[in-house]
Amino acid sequence: MMEIFTSRAALQAYLRQLRKLNKPIGLVPTMGALHAGHLSLIKQAQSQNDVVVCSIFVNPTQFNDPKDLEKYPRTIDADIRMLQDANCDVLFNPDVKEIYDNHEQWHLPLGELEHLLEGEFRPGHYQGVTQVVSILLSVVEPDTAFFGQKDYQQFLVISKMVRMLHIPVKLVMCPIKREPDGLAMSSRNVHLSADERSHALILSKTLNWVKDNFKSTPFPQLKAEAESMISREAGVELEYIEIANGETLKPAPESDKNIVALVAARVGKTRLIDNVILV
Ligand code: AMP
């Protein structure tokens, strides 16, 4: 049976017993509305740990748009069933007070990473992400924490935070799970109408095209063509597409050894992101 905790003290008391038995603990932080992408993180965590803790917490401080927070899908009963079916050991499902009561909001100097790409379109987002992830890491004290490549920039930001604060945890980035037609799985996909969903495919199609063509096309041209492919798609409003260095996220020269293409767009009212690692 999966143990479910809403209080951090109770969770910590439970995990202390397991730690005494030298059981490695893996953490999978989520905002719920679970799908197969989340479950792939749980599976990877299970393959490397004796105990897997999944957290479900819709973190208000990372939403720059109050409407987005309000309509974020919440499906806790279905989530619990999915986690039980996946043999997850522990669910941590705190409320906002349990996480942020008595918590001073600090600003972590994340540098340029915070202001590029997602940071430009979602001001303050990564301060909220680092706040909640640092709290989850200090409550759970996992040996390893698992995050999706889907949120590539988030992984870089969390890696930077862990280095800056000397948090003793190993971070693992797990591949993007996609629908059979290529759409990256996301909790927000439930907001797409059938029509919007078909237009949203332009994001993964364009990233695939970039992957197929980056070796033979100068990057400025690659980016311009990708931009125009997305901009031509009805109902899709491009925010950015960048061919970036995989560590700095600044535009990459063709000679870079670590390159990722990242995209964000609005499809109707729904904001979607996707990316592909090129080298
Ligand atoms: P979220 O609930 O959207 O905050 O996501 C929780 C974790 O699941 C994050 O580390 C995401 O990067 C990861 N994730 C979300 N969608 C996917 C996906 N399609 N494939 C793999 N991981 C994902």
pLDDT (tens digit per residue) in 186-234: 999 999 999 999 999 999 999 999 999 999 999 999 999 999 999 999 9
Contact criterion met (CB below 8 Å) for 171 and 27: no
User: What pLDDT is recorded for position 103?
Assistant: 74
Q: Is the CB of 188 under 6 A from ligand 1?
A: no
Which atom belonging to ligand 1 lies closest to the Cα atom of 147? Answer: 10
**What amino acid occupies position 45?**
A
Express each pLDDT in 104-133 by its tens digit. Answer: 788 999 999 999 999 999 999 999 999 999
Q: What is the pLDDT of residue 46?
A: 98
| pLDDT of the residue at 131 | 96
Q: Which two tokens stand for residue 194?
A: 């059938």
* Segments of the chain scoring below 70 in pLDDT: none
Q: What is the pLDDT of residue 221?
A: 98
Q: Which residues pair with 207 in a beta bridge?
A: none
Q: How far is the CA of 13 from the centre of ligand 1 (A)?
A: 28
Q: Is the CB of 55 under 6 A from ligand 1?
A: no
pLDDT of residue 105: 82
> Does residue 186 line the site of ligand 1, with CB under 6 A?
yes
**Residues 257, 171: contact at Cβ < 8 Å?**
no
CB of 26 sitting under 6 A from ligand 1: no
What is the DSSP secondary-structure string of 181-211? TSPBP-GGGGG--HHHHHHHHHHHHHHHHHH
Nearest CA to ligand 1 atom 5: 30
User: What is the number of the ligand 1 atom nearest to the C-alpha of 175?
Assistant: 21
Q: Is the Cβ atom of 148 under 6 angstroms away from ligand 1? A: yes
Looking at the annotation, which residues are catalytic? 38
Closest residue by Cα to residue 241 from 270, 269, 214, 268: 214
Q: What is the distance in A from the centroid of ligand 1 to the CA of 56? A: 12
Q: Is 176 in the pocket of ligand 1 (CB under 6 A)?
A: yes
CA 185 to centroid of ligand 1, rounded, Å:
8
What is the distance in A from the centroid of ligand 1 to the CA of 154? 10
